Chains A and B, each alone.
Chain A
């Protein structure tokens, strides 16, 4: 695989045109506290108006997490959000000669994305011990996409908090979440 600005050949792949220079980008951010909200987006991964992408994995690690039960989903929002500020741009982990990524990952919106009509993945994440116990740090929830989730230009994928069986306002520390996204673009 070559990097840089050499000529690009667009190859068909199951209906989607890709460049011959897919490059792996990876980024990690810490999401803000969720508290007791439910039915909300946790983060959104957006492509630029010109670039395709293949999302290969999402790793989520909880930190300071004392809520009872989360159901998390991955899907394409019915309507893409408008990110309030760019919370992080995914850069390639190595090779300074690699083109900078145009993928944006955001967790703060002027207009949030809307819930996917159907989810591509959903998983349950639970604390050890349940409500009001010692916060369970480091719980991991991973989503893997063997062939990648194809993303066309100006589209997005959301990580959605489907349900949140928490106990409100009993001095629970707010959960923070670290998320790592690997993406080919």
Chain B
């Protein structure tokens, strides 16, 4: 098992849309260790995290980076901010957070035992209301 991570500035902030989709590889599961959010505008923001009812199609994805520079095996998990067709809202959220209208407000969700996501499955950070764009990062163990 190796640790990979990725940080991105979200672009989608509209109500009831995905801010970020974390996509497992075709043949590899991942264990989500943490997900961090800091908002970039003075906009009260409500985010949720969970498995989308339908995952996004044709995502523009970025592969995670190894935190161990000596690990030359590429990661399989990817993050996506835009899609041909975006993911749909999770039936239920596993985490929700409300952030004040303060630039820089944020938090880190941590999962000491890991939040395990199976191969080909995805996990979304969801804009429950119209949110601020945010600097986000996530750490996975593959």
Contacts and interface: CB of A to CB of B under 8 A. Distances in A.
B130 interface: no
A121 B5 contact: yes
Given A122-B137, A123-B135, A151 B69 contact: yes
Given A16-B70, A146-B33, A152-B70, A120 B5 contact: yes
A124 B40 contact: yes
A71 B40 contact: yes
A124 B104 CA distance: 5
A122 B9 contact: yes
A58 interface: no
B70 A121 contact: no
A145 B67 CA distance: 9
A16 B68 contact: yes
Contacts of B7: 73-75, 118-122
B59 interface: no
Contacts, number: 96
Contacts of B139: 146
B27 interface: no
A76 B2 CA distance: 18
Interface residues of A, number: 32
- Chain B binding site: helix, strand, loop or mixed by DSSP? strand
A14 interface: yes
A147 B141 CA distance: 11
A125 interface: yes
A169 interface: no
Given A122-B8, A125-B104, A150 B39 contact: no
A102 B80 CA distance: 38
Interface of B: 1-3, 5-9, 33, 36, 38-40, 62, 65-73, 102-104, 106, 134-137, 139
Interface of A: 13-17, 52, 68-69, 71, 73-76, 118-126, 145-152, 155, 162
Given A75-B65, A118-B8, A120-B6, 12 more contacts: A13-B68, A14-B2, A69-B103, A119-B8, A120-B5, A123-B38, A123-B135, A126-B103, A147-B68, A149-B69, A150-B70, A162-B9
